[in-house]
Structure 1
Amino acid sequence: MVGMDLAPQDVVAEVLRRIAPRSLAACRCVCKAWRAVVDANRLLRADLLPLTLDGIFYETCPYNEPMLFSSPATGRRVTGKLDYLDWPLDDVFPIMDCCSGLLLMCYHVVNPATRQWVRLPPLPPSCTAAGCTRCSSQNRYLVYDPALSPHYEVFLIPNIPFTLPTGHICMHICRDDESVSAMEWPPSPYIVHVFSSKTGCWKERSLLREGEAAGTVAEVKAVYDTVSFFLYAAYWKDALYVRCEEEFLLRINLLHDTYRVIKFPDGNKGYTVPRIGKSEKGMEWALRNVIDLQRVVEIYPANHVDGPNWVVQSEDQMDLVLKNDINLQPADDKDKAMTEGDFDWDSDNEYVVSTNDWDNKGGYRDYFYCLGFHPYKEVVFFHGAFRTVAYNFDSCKVLYLGEMRYGYEELQESFSYASCWVRNLPGSN
């Protein structure tokens, strides 16, 4: 403490600059001198952290470059065009996950706000058995909280390959054996690979199960091979929640390397598509057809053009963002008003409709795809028939956001996005 007090202010500022925001806030309270250094150098800037929802990143099938659906305020500063990565421009890879402003691609971790990126080292083999090609089905998830640390982790979570018999990934049993189908899933220990930006390499991590398994391999295996495209995850309070197969999720305790199986409510296996995510009060999930949004189609016709500000970023807008320098200044009053107005649930807002008197009767129903959850409100986003809406759990109101068009291709993956303007991504280019 004495040494820091005697050090020049620029040295103290450089030391404090390397501390995560939550710890920096505690350091600011140590003494008046440190508080003066933090304030004078604007080291503690909450506006740089991902504390507000800025839009929704989505992709279509066949995979195209990520698209951003947001207010114009966000579209002027952030883009999903990732031409600056070290891959051939004719190769497009999907978004695997999104966490606190970072995107996890197949081979990269990217911050689209600051345009910093890291290429991950080659993936470790999912099975050490010689010649094994069956134990290769793994999903990738990102864990990151810039308020706690600049470092992030990437998890490879094994799931059951579509074609049985399959290998038991924990025990590396890869032969054609009927006993494989009778093995419990997930196993204990559950062996996963984790990349840490602290070490810069992949390492095995052994997770011990608390409670019962979800069932046998044969019982919990996905009905359809395409289910692997919808296995989303969410990070909340030192735990990673991962949807596995079709009927359950894992709560992985990152502090104690344990996990617990949580089963979804009963549904039609192979037809329901549960979507999990983090909202204001914690973990949430939504099941297809639980919320009837058919009236949205009736209230907001397809040619509706007036109203809310959320739009899909055009190619020209993407190029313009990349031509401009990264702006770390706080949003001006106009942009703030536009962003806050996107979620005005006032009853006088003509784009807010109460669903309390809606019934479930009627004939044909358009399918509304769950785009994700608002990380800081009790709100979930849905899209169907080109209409995109936000549904408020507390008030049972629907807010029309705009039209998210993407031609004749199929909407494949989507992620709620909160911009992170902290420029300290470890190992970034």
Structure 2
Amino acid sequence: MTGQWAERSFRREGEAAGTVADMQKDQRWHQRRHAVYWRGALYVHCEKDFVMRIPLSKDTYRIIHPPHGIEIYECSELLLGRSEKGVYCALIGDEGQLRVWILDESCSRMEWVLKHDSGCGLAAAQPSLNYFSQQGNGPWILQNANRREGDNIVEAPIDQEPEWDSDDEDVLNNQDSRVENHQYKRFDILGFHPYKEIVFLHISLSRGLAYHLNTSKLESLGNICPIHYYNRATHRFIQSCFPYTPCTMGGFPGSCSS
């Protein structure tokens, strides 16, 4: 490792993504394309939901086609991520159903295999509670960010430990009397848990949720909006998000010892 940027060229292995017509520009108004690293390869989310796999040990790349059948979800956005068993992608359908695929790399033609389909489970489990209350593990905070209240600047809290425990499930039961179907509320995906099969979601920028793929349990994470957020933000949306995974840089070659 030299600690400097270097230019590399890559050649394609396997079939092309398609024709020029297939690669026409995406028409979706909001595009969040991520890249993930898994077992020595970089997976890059490209236009029209193709994924480019780049093994770092070789000067080649391979194109992976989108999951079969997702073209029917014209208004849904596919999100690429990494979790317990490899590379995943997911989307929320028009009726509020969550679909998750995992990448099968066991054959020469890599393909997406459907891992989970919630059916109408998400739409039926929207909790009829105050979306701006502090119920659950919340509120979320703006980490290392100051805020202004009038003429005073309030410094961000220091050294606050995260409160959420993925094994301590505050589950929203589909049969609970608190549960109703609010058609005006909209689910969206925040990301994947880095080492457990959990998908993080939010409802209309207000409440954070954790969906456990193995049990289909929906867990409330509390009010997703930081304190005083609604007093500061006129146009509210989530432009980008990713799960934060702390690591120790000292274990990497060429890193500083201090």
What is the TM-score when the length of structure 1 is the normalising length?
0.43
Question: 1:388·1:402 contact (CA, 8 Å) conserved in 2?
Answer: yes
The reply to whether residue 224 of structure 1 matches residue 27 of structure 2 is yes
Other-structure match for 2:165: 342
Q: Match of 1:366, SS?
A: coil
Q: For residue 62 of structure 1, what is the aligned residue in structure 2?
A: none
Counterpart code for 1:343 = S
In structure 1, distance between residues paired with 2:50 and 2:191: 18
* Residue of structure 2 equivalent to 1:240: 42
**Structure 1 residue corresponding to 2:200, chosen from 381, 386, 389:** 381
**1:217 shift after superposition:** 2.6
The residue matched to 2:53 in structure 1 has which SS?
Answer: strand
1:206 aligned onto 2:9: yes
CA distance in 2, matches of 1:202, 1:372: 30
Whether contact under 8 Å (2:187, 2:203) holds in the other structure is yes
| Aligned-residue RMSD, C-alpha | 3.3
Counterparts of 1:344 and 1:299, CA distance in 2? 24
CA distance in 2, matches of 1:422, 1:199: 14
Corresponding position: 1:412 with 2:214: no
Q: Which residue, out of 198, 202, 212, partners 1:392?
A: 212
Secondary structure of the corresponding residue to residue 418 of structure 1: coil
CA contact (8 A) 1:246 1:270 kept: no
Give how far 1:365 is off. Answer: 5.2
Percentage of identical aligned residues? 32
Opposite residue 315 of structure 1, the aligned amino acid is N
Query: What is the count of residue pairs matched by the alignment?
Result: 208
1:25-72 alpha-carbon deviations (Å, 9 max, x no partner): xxxxxxxxxxxxxxxxxxxxxxxxxxxxxxxxxxxxxxxxxxxxxxxx
Q: 1:260 Cα deviation (Å)?
A: 1.6
Find out whether 1:353 has 2:172 as its counterpart. yes
Distance change (3 Å), C-alpha of 1:219 and 1:238: same
Partners of 2:224 and 2:182 lie apart in 1 by 25
* Structure 2: unaligned runs, 5 residues or longer: 99-120, 148-153
Q: CA deviation at 1:287?
A: 1.3
Q: What amino acid sits opposite 2:213 in the alignment?
A: F
Distance verdict in 2 for CA 1:225–1:288, change over 3 Å:
closer
- Change in CA separation of 1:365 and 1:248 when aligned onto 2, cut-off 3 Å: farther
**The structure with more helix, counted as a fraction of residues:** 1
Residue deviations 1:317-354 (CA, integer Å, cap 9, x gap): 86454xx8xxxxxx9xxx5xx65x521355xxxx2135
Q: For the Cα contact (< 8 Å) 2:211–2:218, is it kept in 1?
A: yes
Distance 1:354 1:282, change over 3 A: farther
Which residues in structure 2 correspond to 1:32-43 (within 5 Å)?
Answer: none
Cα deviation code 1:77-130 (max 9, x no counterpart): xxxxxxxxxxxxxxxxxxxxxxxxxxxxxxxxxxxxxxxxxxxxxxxxxxxxxx
Deviation at 1:251, TM superposition (A): 1.4
Q: Deviations over 1:273-319 (max 9, x none)?
A: 11011101111110122325234433443243233245122636864
Residue type of the alignment partner of 2:243: S
Q: Which amino acid aligns with 1:293?
A: L
* Cα separation, 2, equivalents of 1:272 and 1:261: 22
TM-score normalised by the chain length of structure 2: 0.68
CA contact (8 A) 1:241 1:251 kept: yes
- The aligned amino acid for 1:236 is W
Say which structure, 1 or 2, has more relative contact order (CA 8 Å, 6+ apart): 1
- Residue 368 in 1 paired to residue 191 in 2? no
- Checking the alignment, whether the CA contact within 8 Å between 1:224 and 1:270 is kept in structure 2 is no
Helix, strand or coil at the partner of 2:21? helix
Question: Which residue of structure 2 lines up, in the alignment, with residue 304 of structure 1?
Answer: 133
State whether residues 220 and 247 of structure 1, in contact with CA within 8 Å, keep that contact through their aligned partners in structure 2: no
Deviation, 1:214, is 1.0
Task: Give the AA of the match of 1:311.
Answer: W
Kindly report which structure 2 residues correspond to 1:3-42, keeping only aligned pairs within 5 A, or say none.
none
Is the 1:354–1:396 Cα contact (8 Å) retained in structure 2?
no
The answer on 1:261 being equivalent to 2:63 is yes
Aligned to 1:388, the other structure's residue is in SS state strand
Aligned position for 1:249: 51
Specify the structure having the higher radius of gyration (Cα). 1
1:18-417 matched pairs, under 5 angstroms: 198-203=2-7, 205-224=8-27, 226=29, 229-265=31-67, 266-268=69-71, 270-289=74-93, 290-291=97-98, 292-309=121-138, 311-313=140-142, 315=146, 319-321=156-158, 339=163, 341-345=164-168, 351-354=170-173, 364=183, 366-385=185-204, 386-405=206-225, 406-407=229-230, 408-417=235-244
| CA distance in 1 between partners of 2:83 and 2:34 (Å) | 14
Q: Is the 8 A contact 1:390 1:399 kept in 2?
A: yes
Q: Cα offset for 1:231? A: 1.2
Q: Contact between 1:279 and 1:375, CA under 8 Å: does it hold in 2?
A: yes
Distance in 2 (CA, whole Å) between partners of 1:281 and 1:215 is 29
For 1:241 and 1:356, locate their aligned partners in 2 and report how far apart those are by CA, in whole Å: 39
One-letter amino acid of the counterpart of residue 264, structure 1: P
Aligned partner of residue 209 in structure 2, secondary structure: strand
